[in-house]
Amino acid sequence: MNNTNLPLTARPAWHDLKSHHQKIQAAHLRQLFLDDPKRGERLTVEAGGLFLDYSKNRITDETLKLLVQLAEQCGLRSRIDAMFRGDRINITEDRAVLHVALRAPRTASIMVEGEDVVPQVYAVLDKMTDFADRVRSGAWKGHTGQRIRNIVNIGIGGSDLGPVMAYEALRHYSDRSLTFRFVSNIDGTDFAEATHDLDPAETLFIVASKTFTTQETMTNAISARDWALKGLGGDPRAVARHFVAVSTNAAKVSAFGIDTANMFGFWDWVGGRYSMESAIGLSTMLAIGAENFRAMLHGFHQMDEHFRTAPFEKNLPVLMGLLALWNNNFLGAHTIAVLPYDQYLKRFPAYLQQLTMESNGKQVALDGSKVTCDTSPIYWGEPGTNGQHSFYQLIHQGTRLIPCDFIAFAESLNPRGQHHDILMANVFAQSEALAFGKTAEQVTAEGTPDWLVPHRVFDGNRPSNTILARRLTPEVLGQLVALYEHSVFCQGALWNINCFDQWGVELGKALAQRIVPELDAKTEPVLAHDSSTNNLIRSYRMLKGAS
C-alpha cells in the first residue's frame, strides 16, 4: 500500500475520492447543514490552544474517511516518523529536517549522525538569552558607551519573514523602549528608510544569514557597517559592539569582521523558512524577552507532539492539509486566502506565502518524475476586516472558488469599547455568508426589483476553516506556525514532493550575478542574452547615463 513510487493519482483512495466527488459535487453546504444539525459541533477539532471548525468545507464523513485513507496509502505516518527521527528526508540537499528539535524540551534527545542535537540547541538558546538580557537591561553598551535602543535585523527570505512576522505578531509583549527595524530588500531604499532616524551609537545590527553569502543581505550588511562606522568616528572596533551575526558559517562571519563570540549558530538541518524559532529569532527574543520566547517554543512543541501522535482524523495539521488538498485537487481551487482577524497578524499571510509556496511549489516528485496533479495552491491574504472592503467581493461573488482560513481570537489584546465584538461578528458573518449565501427567493422577498436580483444573489457553498484561540500569546503563535508547517508537510507528503528544497530560486540568482557587471561596465558590454534582455539592459544603461 505504501509503495512510494506510485503517483498520488494512481492510489486507490484517489480513485475513490474522484468518484465520491462526482457524487457529492452538487451538494450544497446549506443541505449538508440541514441534514446534520450537529455538523457545526461535530466537524471541529482542538489541539493545544487552537480550535478548528472545518464544518464549512464541502465534505461529508465519507470524504474525510477517504482523505484519511489516501494519507495512509501515501505513507504519511512513516513520513512523519522519518522527519521526527532525523532521517535525511530533504533528499536533494541530503539533509535532515529537524526544525522540531529547535523546540524540543531540554530533556529530550534527538540524534543526528549519532549526536544528540538538543544540548546544542540549548547552548545557543542560553547564549541568546544571556545576550538578550544584557541588551534589554542596558548592560550591553555601544562603542561610545550608550545603551542600545534600536535593533535592525538584516536578512531576507527565511531570515526575514519569520522575524518580521513574529515581531509584529508579538508586539504587544515587546519592550517598547526598543525600536525594531527589518531590512531585507536589495533596494537601497529599504536600508535608507530603516535607518534614517536612528543614531548609530544606539543601534545594533543583527546580520541574519544562514549561509552568510546571500547577495542582498551581504550588500545591506556592508552598507550598515559603512553607516555605523561613519557615525561612530570610523574606529573598526565599533563593529564588535554594534554587529552580531546569526549564521551557520563562522568563517564568513569572521571574514566580515564580526567576532564569532557574537555569532549565534544554527545547523544545516534547519531550513530557512523553518528557522524563526532558531537563532534567526534573535530579534524576536530581544523584543519579547527570553521567557516569552520560551513560551513560543513551548507552543510549537505542543503542536509538534499533537501532530506526531494524534490519529489523523483528529489531527489538526493533517486535517488542514487534507482539506487544502481536497479543495485544490478535487474542487479545483487554485488559491487559499488566509484571513487573520487580528491586526498583529498583518504579516502572517506574507510569512505563510514563503512557508507554503516555497515548500510545495514543485512539479517533480521525489523520484524525479513529473507530478500528476497540481501541487501548492497560491496563498494570499490580508487582515480582516480590511480585506472585506477590497477583495472579498471576488470571494463572495466571483467565478473562482477561494477557500478561506479565518483566524481569530476570543480576547483582544487591546480591549476598547465594542471593537472586539464587532471584529468577531465580522469573522462569523463572513464564513456564514460564504457557506450559506443568499438565494434569489430571499433577495426577491426583500422587495428587490427582478432585474437587480441576479446581482444581489450569493451562491454560497464557498468553503472555509475557522481557527479560534483564546488570545494571541507567544505560545499560541508557536502553535499556529507549527500547525501550518505541518499542514504543508502533509500536503507535500501526499504529493510525494520535497518540501524542503528551493531550487526554483537559483536560476534568477545566477543570471543576476551575470548581469550586474554588464550594468556596471564603463564601456558598452558585449551582450549575449536574448534580444529582449539585451535591449532592456541597453535601455537601462542609457537611462542611467552610463553610456
Give the residue from 166, 189, 193 showing the smallest Cα distance to 181: 193
Question: How far apart, in whole angstroms, are the C-alpha atoms of residue 274 and residue 102?
Answer: 10
> Applying CB under 6 A, does 214 fall inside the site for ligand G6Q?
yes
> Per the structure block, which three cell numbers stand in for 362?
514543485
Query: Vertex 63, ends 59 and 66: CA angle to 5°?
Result: 160
Q: How is residue 327 annotated by DSSP?
A: I
Query: Vertex 491, ends 383 and 360: CA angle to 5°?
Result: 75
> Applying CB under 6 A, does 67 fall inside the site for ligand G6Q?
no
Phi then psi dihedrals of residue 380, to 5 deg = -160, 170
With beta carbons less than 8 A apart as the criterion, state whether 309 and 352 touch: no
389, 455, 522, 544: the catalytic one is 389
> Applying CB under 6 A, does 272 fall inside the site for ligand G6Q?
yes
> Applying CB under 6 A, does 475 fall inside the site for ligand G6Q?
no
Binding-site member from 273, 294, 301, 486 for ligand G6Q (CB under 6 A)? 273
Q: Among residues 64 and 154, whose Cβ is nearest to ligand G6Q?
A: 154
Binding-site member from 48, 75, 158, 525 for ligand G6Q (CB under 6 A)? 158
Binding-site member from 146, 179, 211, 444 for ligand G6Q (CB under 6 A)? 211
> Applying CB under 6 A, does 159 fall inside the site for ligand G6Q?
yes
Active site annotation includes 230: no
Residue type, 255: A
> Applying CB under 6 A, does 492 fall inside the site for ligand G6Q?
no
Q: Which helix (H) or strand (E) holds 71?
A: helix 61-73
Binding-site member from 57, 90, 217, 278 for ligand G6Q (CB under 6 A)? 217
User: Least separation, in Å, of the C-beta of 511 and ligand G6Q?
Assistant: 16
Q: Judged by CB under 6 A, which stretch of 123-131, 146-154, 207-215, 306-314 contacts ligand G6Q? A: 207-215
Residue type, 173: Y
Interactions with ligand G6Q, residue window 508-547 (CB under 6 A): none
Active site annotation includes 334: no
Give the residue from 252, 248, 246, 250 showing the smallest Cα distance to 280: 246
Give the residue from 489, 542, 502 showing the smallest Cα distance to 325: 489
Give the residue from 107, 109, 87 showing the smallest Cα distance to 98: 87
202, 358, 382, 518: the catalytic one is 358
User: Least separation, in Å, of the C-beta of 19 and ligand G6Q?
Assistant: 38
With beta carbons less than 8 A apart as the criterion, state whether 523 and 546 touch: no
Phi then psi dihedrals of residue 209, to 5 deg = -155, 120
> Applying CB under 6 A, does 210 fall inside the site for ligand G6Q?
yes
> Per the structure block, which three cell numbers stand in for 479?
502553535
Sequence-distant (≥ 6) Cβ neighbours of residue 467 within 8 angstroms: 50, 51, 52, 405, 406, 407, 408, 480, 483
Q: Judged by CB under 6 A, which stretch of 71-79, 209-217, 478-486, 513-521 contacts ligand G6Q? A: 209-217
Which residue, judged by CB position, is nearest to ligand G6Q in the bound state?
157
Total residues contacting ligand G6Q (rule CB under 6 A)? 14
Q: Among residues 209 and 487, whose Cβ is nearest to ligand G6Q?
A: 209
Radius of gyration of the chain from Cα atoms? 25
Binding-site member from 55, 60, 63, 209 for ligand G6Q (CB under 6 A)? 209
Residue type, 373: C
Binding-site member from 271, 281, 321, 403 for ligand G6Q (CB under 6 A)? 271
> Applying CB under 6 A, does 95 fall inside the site for ligand G6Q?
no
115, 334, 509, 524: the catalytic one is 509
With beta carbons less than 8 A apart as the criterion, state whether 342 and 480 touch: no
Binding-site member from 8, 66, 156, 288 for ligand G6Q (CB under 6 A)? 156
Q: Judged by CB under 6 A, which stretch of 152-160, 337-345, 379-387, 415-423 contacts ligand G6Q? A: 152-160
Q: Is 47 helix (H, G, I), strand (E, B) or coil?
A: strand
Binding-site member from 53, 277, 358, 475 for ligand G6Q (CB under 6 A)? 358
> In sequence order, what DSSP letters do the residues of 226-246 get, joined into one string?
HHHHHHTTT-TTHHHHHEEEE
Would you give the binding string for ligand G6Q spanning residues 411-450, x where CB under 6 A is met? Answer: ----------------------------------------
Active site annotation includes 358: yes
Residues lying near ligand G6Q in the complex (CB under 6 A) are found at 156-159, 209-211, 214, 217, 271-273, 358, 502
**Residues with active-site annotation:** 358, 389, 509
